[in-house]
Amino acid sequence: MCFLVLLLTMMVMKNNNNNYNILINMLNNNYNILMMKSNNLLLFNNNNNNNNNNNNNNISNKNNNNNIINNNNNNEMMNKDNNNNNNEMMNKDNDYNNNMFYNNNNNNKSRKSLLDLTNNDISMYNYEWDKTEFNFDKFYKEYKYNKPNDKLPSKEFLEWFLGFFEADGCMTIPKNLNYSMIITSHKKDLFLLNYIKDNLLMGNVVKNSNKLDNYRWQVYKQQDIKLLIHLFNGNTVLPVRYVKLSMFISNINMKLLKNNEPIINIINKCKLPRLDNSWLSGFTDGEGCFSIGKTQSFYRVIYNINQKYIANKYILDYILNLLRELMNNNNLGGVYMHSSKTKNVYEMRISSMEGCSKLRLYFDKYPLRSYKFLVYKNWLKFIDMAMNKSLSKDIRKNKLMIMLNNIRNISKMNK
């Protein structure tokens, strides 16, 4: 549909050589972004791939089972509060049912959800891996121009925010073309949404669902949308997030061209994650899980992150290798298929007491900022007690049982 709109626009603009040339260049430079491999499909859905309700059902072992500590299957997850903010995007009050693929060959507007994307669809997009630090120069320049009297967000905050948005953020293009960027979280992280609003000085926080008791930080102002694009453009880490951003920018460029405004050039790069910034901290605030499981003889602890698509699996492998280097342990953890029932979903998992304990080498320097920070601190206390060899195993088991009950009670209080 949008491709046909472009062609019609070209016919109207033939008498305007400058605009006509701009449009030709846009078609040439962004062909892979505007055209899908199958049936010329154009994405209109930029919902986070792990925040969609259907996707959450597919990976319910992470997002739903981590909400209780389950004694029946010896997998006592401490983390009821740990992953709720990963489940919040399931309820958009059907706001985003319009954010779908439109098939050019179907006048009845046959729709596909973003979950119908395949690994081959993702592989159509060309990008380069970039090992350098995040570049906020363009964002800061535009921010100063548009908000000259406002304080600039700190570099540390922006690094964290990039990771958190890649985990929990949502870019939408409904049929009325009122573009928006949104993050939805449970009420226990309401303070975090206000923290984001106060640092970026944009958007507002509203109640999203009484039933799920969650809230939404939402940005609709077009000037602020463009500022966020300048923040994300060239700074995304996840390849699938890069693809979504590319399509989001392409749709906005259509509107800019219509208004004879300069278009936004897509930076075809994905940043490789690093352990000398807060990106992983923000990503863990959104997607990470700190859990405790009970075995027949003792307890186990797990730190894990799940992601969909083979392209994102590469990032999980890369993060794990960074942590292995940090801890000087080449046998640390692994990246696995999440389950036989949830194909194309991958899990980075660290499950040794020692390995989980050493995660503090990173998180103590770049702390979590959500409610998950408290979960992480209790998780570390549990690990320290479990590894305290000055106490007998029986004494440790008794103390750990008490700690686990306390963790469970705290989780119930914050339901």
Structure tokens that stand for 246 in this block = 């590319």
Structure tokens that stand for 277 in this block = 């910034």
279 domain residue, yes or no: no
Segments of the chain with pLDDT less than 50: 1-115
CB neighbourhood size of 261 (10 A): 12
Structure tokens that stand for 185 in this block = 């979280």
Rounded to a whole number, what is the largest CA-CA distance in the chain? Answer: 86
Let me know whether 173 and 237 are in one domain: yes
Cα–Cα distance measured from residue 289 to residue 359, given in angstroms and rounded to the nearest whole number: 13
Let me know whether 263 and 293 are in one domain: no
Q: Identify the pLDDT of residue 372.
A: 97
> CA 150 → CA 140, 159, 217, distances in Å?
11, 19, 20
Cα–Cα distance measured from residue 50 to residue 411, given in angstroms and rounded to the nearest whole number: 23
Total tally of structural domains belonging to the chain: 2
Let me know whether 91 and 196 are in one domain: yes
320 domain residue, yes or no: yes
Cα–Cα distance measured from residue 128 to residue 37, given in angstroms and rounded to the nearest whole number: 21
Helix/strand/coil for 198: helix
Let me know whether 364 and 260 are in one domain: no
Helix/strand/coil for 253: helix
276 domain residue, yes or no: no
Last residue of one domain, picked from the residues 209, 237, 271? 271
Let me know whether 191 and 318 are in one domain: no
Cα–Cα distance measured from residue 107 to residue 105, given in angstroms and rounded to the nearest whole number: 7
Amino acid letter, residue 98: N
Let me know whether 258 and 290 are in one domain: no
Q: Identify the pLDDT of residue 116.
A: 60
71 domain residue, yes or no: no
165 domain residue, yes or no: yes
Q: Identify the pLDDT of residue 313.
A: 97
Angle at 374 between CA 369 and CA 377, to 5 degrees: 110
Q: Identify the pLDDT of residue 119.
A: 82
First to last CA, the chain: 45
Full DSSP string of 151-167? PPPPHHHHHHHHHHHHH
Last residue of one domain, picked from the residues 216, 241, 271? 271
What's the CATH code of the domain at 261? 3.10.28.10
Let me know whether 380 and 306 are in one domain: yes
State the pTM of this model.
0.75
Let me know whether 102 and 251 are in one domain: yes
113 domain residue, yes or no: yes
Q: Identify the pLDDT of residue 123.
A: 85
Contact 282, 161 (CB under 8 A): yes
Instruction: Collect all residues with Cβ–Cβ distance below 8 Å to 323 and sequence separation of at least 6.
Output: 275, 332, 333, 350, 359, 362
Helix/strand/coil for 217: strand
Full DSSP string of 327-347? HT-TTS-EEEEEETTEEEEEE
68 domain residue, yes or no: no
Q: Identify the pLDDT of residue 233.
A: 98
Let me know whether 240 and 314 are in one domain: no
Last residue of one domain, picked from the residues 237, 271, 305? 271
Q: Identify the pLDDT of residue 124.
A: 84
Q: Identify the pLDDT of residue 242.
A: 96
Cα–Cα distance measured from residue 174 to residue 176, given in angstroms and rounded to the nearest whole number: 5
pLDDT in tens, 259-309: 999 999 999 999 999 999 999 999 999 999 999 988 888 999 999 999 999
Let me know whether 45 and 161 are in one domain: yes
79 domain residue, yes or no: no
Let me know whether 173 and 301 are in one domain: no
Let me know whether 56 and 88 are in one domain: yes
User: By CB neighbour count within 10 A (0-12 exposed, 13-18 middle, 19+ buried), where does 193 fall?
Assistant: buried
Enclosing domain of residue 347: 286-413
